[in-house]
Structure 1
Amino acid sequence: MKQVLEFEKPLVKAREELEELRRKQALKNTSKVTLAIADLEKKLAELQEETYANLSPWQRVQIARHIQRPYMLDYARLCFDEFVELHGDRHIGDDNAMPAGFATLNGQRVMLIGQQKGRDTKENLLRNFGSAHPEGYRKALRLMRMAEKFGLPVICMIDTPGAFPGIGAEERNIAEAIAFNLLEMMKIRTPMVSVVIGEGGSGGALGIGVTDRVMMLENAYYSVISPEGCAAILWKHRQHAPEAAQALKLSAPDLMDLGIIDHIVPEPHGGAHNDHHAVAASLKSALVSALAELTPLGTEELLQKRYEKFRSYGKFTEGE
């Protein structure tokens, strides 16, 4: 059963009415029914254009969380010629929330790292709802260093509500694992690209996001905290999540204006969940272009530009 978002319900209702008219037309084709179909098709097209051309930040968050949205392993299959998964951090164990391994993009060998969610209860338990443990971040760094050793570019796909906040993760020092990744990723001597494909939540996202190019899918979000978490702190209730999403400037257009990201990858009309192959083609093209820009750069120039990029973050505006 397809998930229907709240703001899409008028569209769904219009489509159902259109299907009902088409069934009537199949039984008895009259000029009155034909005119009604044409009129409703026009209204539906206008409603779709109005809805998706004026999405609020909160509506984009809802699309980013859509259960049918492509996940990291979907893109591994659709964008890359092959993907060979590697396991383990060589300290504690493996983390299924952070699959990673060798992949081939347009004939070029790369290291692919990402966060993976699940679509049902069993898979979500396996993937820990996309929230990685410390061993996930340590595995990611181990494979980044392997990529550096063999001269392979690194591609990171971000899709997490945040790193796992459980007792076990705290005991194994999740904060240190993420902080160490931030430090070490600044020094990895190979081209690196990251793309927020869905949710980009807090340090859990940034832990694999310190790269030469940071991209986002059109309806993804990237934020220091979830809208619900922000609303609970500032408004004392999660019902204010839409206002929080607006204030956080977490959408791709806002982050592009602020210089936090470098490129917005377009999605099919209505969101990536409507056409996996189309959004995968857009993402593949963006990744190939990014690597084509970065590969010719010398190592020292690459590292200097990466350092300058992240040092330049931090714009603010003053209001009354």
Structure 2
Amino acid sequence: MAAHYLEFEKPIADLEAKIEELSLLASTAGSFDAEIDGLRKKAEQLRKKTYSNLDPWMKTMVARHPQRPHFVDYAEGLFTDFVELKGDRQFGDDQAILGGLARFRGRPVVIMGHEKGHDTQTRLTHNFGMARPEGYRKAVRLMDMAEQYGLPVLTFVDTAGAYPGLGAEERGQAEAIARSTERCLTLGVPSIATVTGEGGSGGAIAIAAAGRVLMLEHSIYSVISPEGAAGILWRDGARAKDAAMAMKITAPDLVELKIVDRIIPEPIGGAHADPQAAVTAVGDVIEEELNALSGLSPAQLRKARSDRFYAIGRAG
């Protein structure tokens, strides 16, 4: 897959284009090894410097990067024996949220997450990760099953928000989101949510109200998208950057506000630069957190989760 460069990555793109040009010339006009090595080192230094100084709007662009790992990548890279379970047993199957049974490093678990898709066809199939009511009702069904059999629940959050279409509203979108959020909060089994890209509004919280909430370094998590906030505040969606800068949507801000528990570092250049390394890093942190939660009783898990969410926004 060809590299997709973000707007602020243009200097890096220019250097890598020169590297590619010299590599092609080397096959016909002799060796350029020294020049190529020099340019590669310069590009790596520039990438490191750029990604150590991202502002919230830049992080928003990285969080939305089309080559960032999605749920299907985490399912393939971290889990074995994955069996997808479909349908909400009321209306149909929503492919914006995928989930089922799997083994995580030898341990049986229930997993679910938003799937955005990687190309035009899969994005349409998964509705760009924007779930309809049946997606959240499927999530509730999977959580019910997890509690019945004592299985930990691992969720992967990456959505701009729940789907706002007429059909979704007619089938009870708000109620479905509320029920899914409630089920997250009442689980008597360990639950860990990881924000892997965008954590947008109720569409995210519906499967993110977990005992532990993790967040990739360059992800975002917010009550509304920067574009939506700009439209409300200034009636101008073009001021999305201003909104992003003011909303405290990045991982360091959210850890400070105690909305997120832990930040998972990304490879230099973002998760899309080395997807396998990013997936492995997520798995290692989930394993640590799951081990810490596994010794707690259902009552202890519920109380700890309740205390965690009640404490958000309180002074002291």
Both proteins in one fold, TM over 0.5: yes
Aligned match of 2:161? 162
Structure 2, unpaired ranges of 5+:
none
Q: Is 2:48–2:269's contact at 8 Å kept on the other side of the alignment?
A: no
Q: Distance in 2 between matches of 1:204 and 1:118?
A: 17
Structure 1, unpaired ranges of 5+:
none
The amino acid that maps onto 2:82 is F
Q: Distance in 2 between matches of 1:73 and 1:97?
A: 11
Secondary structure of 1:81's match? strand
Q: Percent identity?
A: 46
Q: Distance in 1 between matches of 2:314 and 2:62?
A: 27
Q: Distance in 2 between matches of 1:208 and 1:85?
A: 17
TM alignment of 1:17-28, pairs within 5 A: 17-21=18-22, 27-28=29-30
TM alignment of 1:144-155, pairs within 5 A: 144-155=143-154
Secondary structure of 2:79's match? coil
Secondary structure of 1:44's match? helix
- 1:187-235 deviation line (CA, Å, top 9, x unaligned): 1111111001111100000011111000011111110011111112212
Q: Distance in 2 between matches of 1:315 and 1:13?
A: 48
- Cα 1:43–1:123 change in 2 (3 A) is closer
The amino acid that maps onto 1:289 is E
Q: Using structure 1 for the length normalisation, give the TM-score.
A: 0.93
The amino acid that maps onto 1:113 is M
TM alignment of 1:200-279, pairs within 5 A: 200-279=199-278
Number of positions where the alignment pairs a residue of Structure 1 with one of Structure 2: 313
CA-CA distance at 1:91 after TM superposition: 1.1
Q: Distance in 2 between matches of 1:198 and 1:79?
A: 17
Q: In the alignment, does 2:43 pair up with 1:16?
A: no
Q: Is 1:76–1:82's contact at 8 Å kept on the other side of the alignment?
A: no
CA-CA distance at 1:39 after TM superposition: 5.3
Q: Is 1:100–1:112's contact at 8 Å kept on the other side of the alignment?
A: yes
Aligned match of 2:88? 89
Q: In the alignment, does 2:104 pair up with 1:105?
A: yes
- The answer to which of 1-10 and 36-45 deviates more is 36-45
Aligned match of 2:126? 127
CA-CA distance at 1:22 after TM superposition: 5.1
Q: Using structure 2 for the length normalisation, give the TM-score.
A: 0.94
- Cα 1:17–1:205 change in 2 (3 A) is same
Q: Distance in 1 between matches of 2:74 and 2:37?
A: 37
Secondary structure of 2:154's match? strand
Aligned match of 1:3? 4
CA-CA distance at 1:3 after TM superposition: 1.6
CA-CA distance at 1:239 after TM superposition: 2.0
CA-CA distance at 1:236 after TM superposition: 2.1
CA-CA distance at 1:24 after TM superposition: 5.4
Q: Is 1:258–1:315's contact at 8 Å kept on the other side of the alignment?
A: no
Secondary structure of 2:68's match? coil
Aligned match of 2:56? 57
The amino acid that maps onto 1:17 is K
Secondary structure of 2:308's match? helix
Q: Distance in 2 between matches of 1:50 and 1:103?
A: 39
